[in-house]
Amino acid sequence: MLAALILVLPVAPLHAAQFGAGVGIFTLAENGADIQINYHPEQGSWLFGYKFTRWTDTFHDPFTGRELTKTTNTMTGPIANYLFSPESPGTWYLGIEVLRWTRKEKWLFTGATSSDSTFAPFFGGGYMASPGESFYYNLGFFLSPFPKLSTNTGYSSEESSGGFDIQLQLGIAF
């Protein structure tokens, strides 16, 4: 299952404190939103932020192609990334996210719904770079063995054990 994306500040030389805002790839998904705000303290190696990501998956009958269920996932929470070279135009990083992951499943024939949510830490890292003063991109991957979500509409069910977060995003700093 795809998880939310995380946005980070640009890594052009960071001598002063900066704020950033960006959007990720899940903005393009059905019912999608992928927004994050960030703060990088002056001369620091840490980047702190808060994210909101939502997307909907539609599951089809493999024989008829008819839509069966729609599942909406939402992930929100704080993030912290340690930047290895914060004053370089590009840097590797390690980070942690503590996310509230909510899933809502809807059986389309009857309208029956089921939902579940959990809090879980996600650990990972990636690479971010800034091709200019105000723009940046981030490529990362985070994993968590801890989240367990279960939904059952009476007609369909879905169980997840663990999760991951693929990060593909663009942003702006100010």
Q: pLDDT digit string (tens) for 60-108?
A: 999 999 999 999 999 999 999 999 998 888 899 999 999 999 999 999 9
Range in 75-84, 94-103, 144-153, 155-164 with the lowest mean pLDDT = 155-164
**Helix, strand, coil % over all residues of the chain, rounded to 5:** 0, 65, 30
Which amino acid belongs to residue 16?
Answer: A
Residues 6+ apart with CB under 8 A from 65: none
Cα angle for residues 5, 7, 11 (degrees, 5° grid)? 145
CA end-to-end span of the chain: 33
What number does CATH give the domain 18-173?
2.40.160.20
Distance CA 43, CA 115 (A): 43
77, 48 Cβ separation under 8 angstroms: no
The model's pTM is 0.82
